[in-house]
Amino acid sequence: MNNLDKKNFKIRLLKLALLKSTGTPADLAFRFEISERSVKRIVSELRAEGVHLKFSQSVVSYLTDETAKNYLKHVV
């Protein structure tokens, strides 16, 4: 995955998280044709960049807050 692909994945992941519709890491991996490990690595990168992102088993989605909106403002 090159840097542009990773950036686009981060943007799409955060938009889905804001909608509470990411699905599981395995679902994301299948949808974006990457490994589940890549999904988890990118989630870790987003967390390191200050985005509050956590997986909710009850909602079956990653969830986030205003930090994702701020991140998207600066990246897009």
pLDDT tens for residues 7-55? 999 999 999 999 999 999 999 999 999 999 999 999 999 999 999 999 9
Cα distance from N-terminal residue to C-terminal residue, the chain: 19
Total residues belonging to the chain = 76
pTM for the complete prediction?
Answer: 0.91
The DSSP element (H or E) to which 69 belongs, if any, is helix 66-75
Q: Give tens-digit pLDDT for 51-75.
A: 999 999 999 999 999 999 999 998 8
- According to CATH, the topology of domain 3-75 is Arc Repressor Mutant, subunit A (1.10.10)
Question: What is the four-CA torsion angle of 42, 45, 51, 54, rounded to 10 degrees?
Answer: 50
